[in-house]
């Protein structure tokens, strides 16, 4: 594992990150090709020195320099430039040796992994480049095998040297070919798995869309119908006190409608927004949410206990984290227990290993055990008198899923609830 990490850091740099899994694997493969070629050139150069053969030294040094330049390009993030350096260089160097040596050395074998590597590294949109590189490989193979021409001096080997060269060439060609083929198989498997996941997600989205259209049409029309009825009552009522009562009821319906529209917006935003990673001060975020909710009539008698360390900073998506905590805290306010004197909402955190959890605890009404498993479903309401849209906790769950985390609830009726959001550090 340490060796794998060291090679990864050598190829793309310790602090660099490639977001696409597919591109990462392609970069690592081309880096492996470059490193193997540098190692083989160094080994051949050492063998030639031991055999007192020196004319090819300049070729080895040129190859090592070009491939080192390709590694530098990878570390700078110029991956395509690195590909354009690696594969022509490998083709050129293999041609120089294949044309100057006897076929028994097996130098021709090295053309095969180069062609396979080009098709593995360049994606479908760049297939023309891969085809051209394969054509270059084939052309150089034909020239080296059939044309009686060599840039380097012809090299003659003893039987032992021929066998040693053949074994080295085969030992290089086989694993590099396997690496290229394995990458192609991995990419095919990855694409197949992505297709299955996409189909599963599409099916889920279609089911949710059907429920969404039905429920939203009902939940949007119900407050509007109620407001229309109240307006008609107010028009024909001469009593100012009654009219004022109707206006308060209208305000309540409009606020409920506004909250429902906000939930729909949050749901849409979570599905479409790209995940961003930024430094988030969790204490300041929770205080900001509470200060935006504390002046609502229901929150006036609730004590907010924020036990998050003031210097706690995590790297996460601040907008999504705000969405999650805002829903949980506003739910705790909405479902407080008015019969209790010391009403509170307490928020605290735990960090264990690679995970980080936020706890939102209240001593409100609590949730009955038989319905706890349903509270994160879309448009689920615990009873007919529930004031929420039925989207809040569903949005929390979907948002946390986007962040590769989880959410759980522990609750007892008439004692309170604790929602635990766990996220990877």
Domain annotation for the chain: domains and CATH numbers = 2-198 (no CATH), 277-424 (3.30.565.10)
| CA 347/CA 369 separation, integer angstroms | 22
Q: What average pLDDT does this structure show over 112-136?
A: 89
Please determine, for residue 303, whether its predicted confidence score (pLDDT) is greater than 90.
yes
The band of 233, judged by pLDDT with boundaries at 50, 70 and 90, is confident
Least confident of 74-78, 269-273, 344-348: 269-273
pLDDT of residue 389: 63
As given in the structure block, the two tokens for residue 246 are 């109707």
- 379 vs 35, more confident: 35
SS3 call for 181: helix
| CA 92/CA 97 separation, integer angstroms | 9
| CA 218/CA 222 separation, integer angstroms | 6
Query: Which ranges of 107-239 does DSSP label H, i.e. alpha helix?
Result: 111-121, 127-146, 159-235
pTM of the predicted protein model: 0.52
Least confident of 2-16, 184-198, 255-269, 377-391: 377-391
The band of 316, judged by pLDDT with boundaries at 50, 70 and 90, is confident
Q: What average pLDDT does this structure show over 127-148?
A: 89
The b-or-e profile of 199-237 (16+ CB within 10 A means b, else e) is eeeeeeeeebeeebeebbeebeeebeebbeebeeebeee
As given in the structure block, the two tokens for residue 107 are 């130098």
Q: What average pLDDT does this structure show over 386-390?
A: 62
Distance in Å from the first CA to the final CA of the chain:
21
| CA 303/CA 292 separation, integer angstroms | 14
As given in the structure block, the two tokens for residue 134 are 């394969």
Q: How far is CA 189 from the centre of its chain?
A: 18
Q: What is the largest CA-CA distance in the chain?
A: 117
As given in the structure block, the two tokens for residue 373 are 């498993």
Average pLDDT, the chain: 84
- 73 vs 190, more confident: 73
Cβ 402 vs Cβ 305: under 8 Å: no
SS3 call for 102: coil
pLDDT of residue 217: 63
CA 59-173-24 angle, to 5 degrees, is 90
């Amino acid at each position: 594992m340490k060796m794998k990490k060291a090679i990864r850091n050598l190829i793309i740099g310790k602090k660099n990150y490639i977001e696409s899994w597919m591109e990462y694997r392609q970069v690592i493969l081309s880096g492996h090709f470059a490193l193997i070629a540098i190692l083989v050139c160094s080994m051949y150069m050492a063998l030639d020195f031991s055999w007192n053969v020196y004319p090819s030294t300049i070729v080895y040094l040129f190859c090592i320099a070009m491939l080192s330049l390709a590694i530098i390009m990878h570390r700078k993030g110029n991956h395509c430039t690195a590909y354009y350096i690696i594969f022509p260089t490998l083709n050129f160097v293999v041609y120089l040796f294949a044309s100057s040596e006897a076929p028994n050395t097996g130098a021709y074998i090295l053309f095969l992994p180069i062609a396979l590597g080009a098709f593995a590294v360049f994606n479908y949109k760049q297939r023309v480049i891969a085809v051209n590189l394969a054509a270059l490989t084939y052309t150089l193979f034909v020239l080296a095998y059939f044309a009686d021409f060599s840039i380097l001096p012809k090299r003659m080997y003893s039987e032992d040297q021929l066998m040693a060269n053949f074994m080295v060439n085969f030992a290089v060609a086989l694993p590099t070919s396997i690496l290229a083929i394995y990458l192609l198989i991995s990419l095919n498997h990855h694409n197949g798995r992505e297709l299955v996941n996409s189909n599963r997600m599409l099916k889920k989205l279609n089911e949710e869309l059907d429920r969404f259209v039905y429920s939203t049409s009902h939940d949007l029309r119900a407050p509007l119908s109620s407001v229309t009825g109240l307006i008609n009552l107010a028009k024909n009522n001469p009593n100012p006190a009654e009219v004022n009562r109707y206006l308060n009821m209208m305000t309540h319906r409009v606020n409920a409608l506004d909250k429902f529209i906000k939930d729909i917006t949050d749901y849409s935003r979570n599905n479409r927004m790209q995940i961003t990673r930024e430094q988030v001060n969790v204490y300041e975020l929770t205080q900001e949410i509470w200060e935006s909710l504390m002046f609502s009539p229901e929150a006036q008698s609730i004590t907010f206990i924020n036990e998050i360390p003031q210097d706690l900073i995590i790297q996460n998506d601040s907008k999504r984290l705000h969405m999650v905590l805002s829903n949980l805290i506003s739910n705790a306010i909405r479902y407080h227990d008015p019969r209790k004197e010391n009403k509170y909402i307490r928020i605290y955190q735990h960090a264990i290993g690679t995970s980080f959890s936020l706890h939102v605890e209240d001593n409100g009404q609590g949730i009955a055990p038989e319905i706890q498993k349903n509270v994160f479903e879309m448009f689920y309401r615990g009873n007919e008198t529930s004031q929420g849209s039925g989207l809040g906790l569903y949005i929390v769950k979907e948002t946390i899923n986007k962040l590769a985390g989880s959410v759980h609830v522990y609750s007892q009726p008439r004692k309170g609830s604790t929602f635990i959001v766990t996220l990877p550090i």
